Structure 1
Amino acid sequence: MSRYPGFAFDILHRDPASKARIGRLTTPHGTIETPNFIFCGTKATVKAVTPAQLREEQTDIILSNTYHLMIQPGADTVAAMGGLHKFMRWDGPMLTDSGGYQIFAMGHGSVADEVKGRRSNTREKTLLKINEQGAKFRSYTDGRMILLTPEMSVDIQRKLGADLIVQLDECTPFHVDRTYTARSMRMSHRWGDRSLAEFERGGGLSANGLPQAMYGIVQGGVYPDLRKESADYTKDRPFFATAVGGCLGSTREQMHEVVAMAMAHVHPDRPVHLLGIGGIVDIFNGVALGIDTFDCVSPTRIARHGWALVPGVKGERLNMRNGRFRQDPEPIDSACGCYACRHFSRAYIHHLLKAEEMLALQLLSLHNIHTMNRLMRDIRAAIRTDTLAETRARWVHEQQEPAPAPDA
């Protein structure tokens, strides 16, 4: 880790029954314990909540999106405003992704859309070409042509100034064959080398002079030998950390298998991040495989559709629009200490949703953020006390609803 001044990852405790571990991740903007969840502040905001509210609900780390911020307001503007931390008034650790997932989404829609065969209605309008040079597309705001190269992605992330940054990669689709997956993976490896070279050219520093640390990405689709090849690639390069990405399959069971393929070969002493996964049962599975951090838009996205995360219920959540809550005086979750559960009833939140009041979306977002943070605290406590299986039984309903395709 000497290549990354200001950063460290220390493994503090290991679970004897699995590969789960407690880690301490040190960054220039603070130290967090892992396993942990990274909330998505895609456009320099976690939708519907303020940074102060994120802290009040015990959030440790967030991320923002390179692709969206390069388009609006532009990386140069963020740099001129002192970087993302100052711009959005977040004083804790932060990660930025590379824009690779958005390249995928422009061509194929979301992961769920692509797996289910729903063609993206923006494909011809935005994504034009992916080749060795990079990804060529049109801005969704003004139609201008943009070529996102590995070097450009790193430079944008340098200007944004997050602590943790990610190499550019192509997120391979589900429907392609092994030949395409292998070719794409190896191109992503070359992009990773170019990302590292650009990172070194910049001295490993953000535009405001603070050190940054880079993640390499494990690709390889659903193929065990390709996952091993890609994990070996990241292990052999001077990345600070590892991210598991790309196509993780079409079902929850296959996703767990694919993550296990990658985790069998990643660098054992580096932090490992699982991109785009946030289901409670999936987090328990990932933690048992040695994953240290997770991110997903799901907790706040489902809140904006009226869903509240609750431990131990079927499907992991309650639909607060359901008429059974119309006169329910109880909080969403009596064991929850979030702002919403301390002050308001299910009936009130149900009313707000039916009345289409924005406060409902904020309250549910706060609740879901708090619940995810509580989940990660419980998981860390369970690893320390060797009670991970018992904690999982309290959080995960034994009959899970079928999971949507992973949002990686």
Structure 2
Amino acid sequence: MTAGAPPAIGNLDYGARFGFDVLHRDPASRARVGRLRTPHGTIETPNFIFCATKASIKGVSPQQMREARTDIILSNTYHLMIQPGADVVAALGGLHRFMGWDGPMLTDSGGFQIFSMGHGSVADEIKGRRSQPRERTLTRVSEKGAEFRSYLDGSKLFLSPETSIDIQRKLGADLVVQLDECTPFHVDRDYTARSMALSHRWGDRSLAEFARGGGMSANGEPQALYGIIQGGVYPDLRRESAEYTRGRPFFGTAVGGSLGASKEQMYEVVAMCMPYVHPDRPVHLLGIGGIADVFAGVRLGIDTFDCVSPTRIARHGWALAPGAPGERLNLRNARFRSDPGPVEPGCDCATCRTWSRGYLHHLLRAGELLGPTLISIHNVAVMNRLMRDVRAALADGTLDALEARWVAA
């Protein structure tokens, strides 16, 4: 089953500034090693994209991100359209100049945040978590787009496929994403099917607006567009949506929407998509990126991941620790009060080279802002090392052994 003929949007040529080459394929899975080229640099894949949601990695500077060997980051259309506004960012030279980051960048479309914040608990349900509902900010979804209220002042705002692309054009990231509707886990199949079809029509409009602007940012840099696979937890819908993205001139593919009610179901939903995605395009898994998730996703054929977790857990005192239960340590725990050792023996990050667990424990207990920053630096370095290790293990066929060292049994 395929999703209709593409509209007349012209021939999108991403040119020599963008490209994706598969360098190695794992014979035992869909995993692969690749090279993703952008105007601001080339990254090796699989790779992890860190979330600079509001044009900032919380508590960590761009220089510190580079020192931790970060290759690529992302920012959020929804938050930046609210504050400071896309026109302000464009006037200050686009996101790269605005925040002082000279490497590859992605912006998401804003769709996830509109629908997650609008539906209250949907963000948790999309990612297999449950929590108490929050106040709704989404007011109306129509063929035209989504109406919602600003979380800053309650003012009414509107985001359409066209305005999402225009905002991302002004923000100026290398990689941009179509607008879609993110359906929560609790809606039925009929709603999911209608929502998926709407996202496909929005995808066509995103492509048309992208082509109308010549695939260029407001400051004259080329951009490349990702399409999003929707379809909830339903195999036939996921296949139809994957075939939709495959049949359109997107540069890359993103797997989004409701991924189920558990980790196991999340992996099943991703697996539903992968036989039908375009084989020569990079594939991104939206909003997922724990250490165990990386191993599962890589085997399914995912090339890039993003997640707020590395820096978010650091702000609560959790440091990533390969092989530990849950792959993390709670440095607020009293057992670290007099611990002279580094967070992770053998880690070469700036934090582990310089400071002890005991010092980090003190900073956290004293409420010093330096504590979360130093732990964030470590967590960023760990995720970057993980991705380097994964690429090396894929090349020499030792991914299973690597996972046994990284993920607690």
Q: With structure 2 as the length reference, what TM-score do the two structures score?
A: 0.95
2:369 to 358, 372, 377: 358
Is 1:308 the counterpart of 2:357 in the alignment?
A: no
Distance 1:42 1:241 in 2: 21
How many Å apart are 1:2 and its aligned residue? 7.2
Matched AA of 2:391: R
Task: Give the equivalent residue in structure 1 for 2:73.
Answer: 62
How many Å apart are 1:109 and its aligned residue? 3.0
Distance 2:29 2:398 in 1: 11
Query: In the alignment, is the contact (CA less than 8 A) between 2:231 and 2:241 conserved in 1?
Result: yes
Distance 2:134 2:80 in 1: 22
Q: Which runs of 5+ in 1 are unaligned?
A: 399-408
Aligned residue for 1:367, secondary structure, equals helix
Is 1:112 the counterpart of 2:112 in the alignment?
A: no
Task: Give the equivalent residue in structure 2 for 1:406.
Answer: none
Distance 1:117 1:359 in 2: 31
Query: In the alignment, is the contact (CA less than 8 A) between 1:218 and 1:234 conserved in 2?
Result: yes
1:79 to 83, 90, 98: 90
How many Å apart are 1:127 and its aligned residue? 1.2
Any runs of at least 4 consecutive aligned residues in structure 1 with deviations exceeding 3 A, and if so which? 113-120
Query: In the alignment, is the contact (CA less than 8 A) between 2:69 and 2:384 conserved in 1?
Result: yes
Matched AA of 1:80: A
Count of aligned pairs: 396
- Aligned sequence identity (%): 70
Distance 1:362 1:118 in 2: 27
Task: Give the equivalent residue in structure 2 for 1:3.
Answer: 13
Aligned residue for 1:137, secondary structure, equals strand
Distance 1:305 1:397 in 2: 21
Query: In the alignment, is the contact (CA less than 8 A) between 2:125 and 2:184 conserved in 1?
Result: no
Is 1:391 the counterpart of 2:399 in the alignment?
A: no
1:371 to 367, 382, 405: 382
Is 1:320 the counterpart of 2:331 in the alignment?
A: yes
1:296 to 296, 307, 320: 307
Query: In the alignment, is the contact (CA less than 8 A) between 1:29 and 1:163 conserved in 2?
Result: yes
How many Å apart are 1:287 and its aligned residue? 0.4
Matched AA of 1:316: E
1:122 to 124, 135, 149: 135
2:177 to 166, 175, 179: 166
Aligned residue for 1:225, secondary structure, equals helix
Query: In the alignment, is the contact (CA less than 8 A) between 1:41 and 1:64 conserved in 2?
Result: yes
Please, which moves more after superposition, 67-76 or 135-144? Answer: 135-144
Is 1:203 the counterpart of 2:200 in the alignment?
A: no
Query: In the alignment, is the contact (CA less than 8 A) between 2:51 and 2:73 conserved in 1?
Result: yes
Task: Give the equivalent residue in structure 2 for 1:53.
Answer: 64
Distance 2:21 2:260 in 1: 31
Task: Give the equivalent residue in structure 2 for 1:15.
Answer: 26
CA gap 1:329/1:337 in 2 versus in 1, 3 angstroms: same
- Alignment map for 1:113-192 (pairs within 5 Å): 118-123=131-136, 126-192=137-203
Distance 2:125 2:23 in 1: 40
Task: Give the equivalent residue in structure 1 for 2:38.
Answer: 27
Task: Give the equivalent residue in structure 1 for 2:266.
Answer: 255
Task: Give the equivalent residue in structure 1 for 2:3.
Answer: none
Distance 1:315 1:231 in 2: 32
Aligned residue for 1:270, secondary structure, equals coil
Aligned residue for 1:328, secondary structure, equals coil
How many Å apart are 1:113 and its aligned residue? 6.1
How many Å apart are 1:116 and its aligned residue? 5.6
How many Å apart are 1:122 and its aligned residue? 2.3
Q: Which runs of 5+ in 2 are unaligned?
A: 1-10
How many Å apart are 1:374 and its aligned residue? 0.4
Distance 2:131 2:376 in 1: 28
| Per-residue CA distance 1:310-347 (angstroms, 9 max, x = gap) | 10111111111111111111100012111110001111
Is 1:222 the counterpart of 2:233 in the alignment?
A: yes
How many Å apart are 1:379 and its aligned residue? 0.2
How many Å apart are 1:117 and its aligned residue? 5.4
How many Å apart are 1:4 and its aligned residue? 0.4
How many Å apart are 1:215 and its aligned residue? 0.3
Query: In the alignment, is the contact (CA less than 8 A) between 2:144 and 2:160 conserved in 1?
Result: yes
Query: In the alignment, is the contact (CA less than 8 A) between 2:125 and 2:260 conserved in 1?
Result: no
Task: Give the equivalent residue in structure 1 for 2:281.
Answer: 270
Distance 1:2 1:130 in 2: 29
Query: In the alignment, is the contact (CA less than 8 A) between 1:113 and 1:120 conserved in 2?
Result: no
Matched AA of 1:251: S
Matched AA of 1:352: L
Aligned residue for 1:250, secondary structure, equals coil
CA gap 1:116/1:55 in 2 versus in 1, 3 angstroms: closer
How many Å apart are 1:119 and its aligned residue? 4.7
Q: With structure 1 as the length reference, what TM-score do the two structures score?
A: 0.95
Distance 1:71 1:14 in 2: 42
Matched AA of 2:167: I
Matched AA of 1:277: I
Aligned residue for 2:389, secondary structure, equals helix
